[in-house]
Structure 1
């Protein structure tokens, strides 16, 4: 049995254990559909949903580990569900399309442009 924050760190979802603990406390991690505390134990077969910025993973626990190892080993600790993988890919595509569709300025504003921006901001 392994604590959820240790497992998330060992599976490389978070860079540090304290980040994993913080996300668990904020309710961004659910085990079998329920919120949990950082000290909750994870068992093989549990389903964990992880919400991190815009990405969301739903993974099944295949192995337990308290030690952080290489990325190849970390990937063997879990298996992402097909629905979660498809949803994440769709979200990435949507983000890419949204990024390319927003207008971008040609360069930095000139001194005159900055003055106009400041004038505009002072009105509000």
Structure 2
């Protein structure tokens, strides 16, 4: 094996998360660790905590939980096909697109939404107050 990949040994968790392309930058991986979004074997991980083959790493990233088991420890960032061989992905599937709330999209250059527009957006998101019910005729 090369010096970049070893089956035995340890490497920092922030470096490993970046190396297998779970985050875009190493500083983003370190920030996720400091914020408590990374767990190694169920325990909160600091950026300098080491991981070995067989460890379970949980990462909360981009509104989604990623659960991976370390297969191979690598120190340098590698291509996506090689990175996929370094872990076993046990993440839950992402929610279907139909269940996620649609985001309000406005045309570019239309300016700030009016009060009426904001009420309509809140109503669509389910945040607005319900319209008053009409009194019943008795």
What residue is the counterpart of 1:53 in the other structure?
62
Alpha-carbon spacing, 1:68–1:92, altered in 2? closer, same or farther (3 Å): farther
Q: Does 1:24 align with 2:33?
A: yes
Shift of 1:54: 1.0
Greater share of helix:
1
Q: What is the rounded CA distance, in whole Å, between the counterparts of 1:46 and 1:20 in structure 2?
A: 17
CA separation in 1, counterparts of 2:96 and 2:88?
Answer: 19
CA RMSD of aligned residues (A): 2.9
CA–CA distance in structure 1, aligned partners of residues 54 and 81 of structure 2: 20
User: Structure 2 unaligned runs (5+)?
Assistant: 1-9, 119-138
Which structure 1 residue ranges, 4+ long, deviate > 4 Å from structure 2? Answer: 102-105, 107-111
The count of corresponding residues between Structure 1 and Structure 2 is 109
TM-score by length of 1: 0.74
Structure 1, unaligned runs of 5 or more? none
> TM-score, normalized by length of structure 2?
0.67
